[in-house]
Chains A and B, each alone.
Chain A
């Protein structure tokens, strides 16, 4: 079955950097685009970034544009999010989410990884 597992979260100081990973299994990773979505504690969902199946097309939310970089390694079935210049408001659970053969929405989600930005 489809599995997405995020890792790399933790406590970081304002202005610091962190790299998140998402390991995918149970499907042909290279056939699907995939996104990052976050959720601040007790808040709603915020779409962050998209990368096409080949990596040739990338989109970002304005809130992270210029600070975060999405990438993927199809040979390793992995998705990444490089986060620089982190702010307190970036504190959230970060999810990777992918479509399915049935739906072009976020049909599959990982359990998320918590990023805390605090001094």
Chain B
């Protein structure tokens, strides 16, 4: 099973700042990695797929990069609605797994 480790567990930033979230895989997942945002009481929302492609309707301030084992989600300038929990997930093989999440909180 591929283990995805996200860091940091919690990130405290202010609106307007740049956020950088990391996801590291225990073995290569090529570019088969996605990022999701989950707000309290809501289902997850797909942000980025195949490491760097933005899903439909996702603002351009969200970007993804990386391949192999190291991936990054960047939010260029935080909006109030961006404070949420973010998960990475791979589809390289079975079982699909998720990272444990990074909570992005308002400083």
The answer to whether the Cβ of B87 comes within 8 Å of any Cβ in the partner chain is yes
Q: Take A104-B91, A105-B91, A107-B55 as given contacts and tell me if A44 and B101 are in contact as well, using a CB distance cutoff of 8 Å.
A: yes
The answer to whether B56 touches A102, judged by C-beta atoms less than 8 angstroms apart, is yes
- Tell me if B72 counts as interface (CB < 8 A to partner A): no
Is B97 in contact with chain A by the CB < 8 A criterion?
yes
Q: Which residues of chain B have C-beta atoms less than 8 A from A59's C-beta?
A: 94-95
Check: B63 CB closer than 8 A to any chain A CB.
no
Q: Does A88 contact B (CB under 8 A)?
A: no
User: What's the nearest-Cβ distance from chain B to residue A4, in Å?
Assistant: 9
- Listed in ascending order, the chain A residues whose CB lies under 8 Å from chain B are 35, 44-47, 50, 59, 61-62, 95, 100, 102-107, 109-112
What is B's interface to A at a CB cutoff of 8 Å?
34, 36, 38, 43-46, 49-50, 53, 55-56, 87, 89, 91, 94-101
Q: A45-B36, A103-B46, A105-B46 are in contact. List 17 more A-B contacts (CB 8 A).
A: A44-B87, A44-B98, A44-B99, A45-B38, A45-B44, A45-B87, A59-B95, A95-B44, A100-B56, A102-B56, A103-B53, A103-B55, A105-B34, A106-B46, A107-B49, A109-B43, A109-B45
Determine whether the beta carbon of B34 is less than 8 Å from that of A106: yes
Between B38, B43, B89, B99, the greatest number of chain A beta carbons within 10 A of the residue's beta carbon is seen for B43
Report yes or no: B89 in contact with A45, Cβ–Cβ below 8 A: yes
In the bound complex, CA of A61 to CA of B96 (Å): 8
Sampled A-B contacts (14; CB under 8 Å) = A45-B101, A47-B97, A61-B95, A102-B55, A103-B46, A103-B49, A103-B50, A103-B55, A104-B49, A105-B34, A105-B89, A106-B34, A107-B55, A109-B45
Nearest residue in A to B99 (C-beta to C-beta)?
Answer: A44
B46 neighbours in A (Cβ, 8 Å): 103, 105-107
The 10 closest A-B pairs by CB, nearest first: A109-B43, A47-B96, A105-B34, A103-B49, A45-B98, A105-B49, A44-B100, A107-B46, A44-B101, A61-B95
B43/A47 in contact, CB under 8 A: no
Distance A87 CA – B36 CA, assembled complex (angstroms):
28
**Cα–Cα, bound, A105→B53 (Å):** 12
Name the B residues within 8 Å of A109 (CB-CB): 43-45
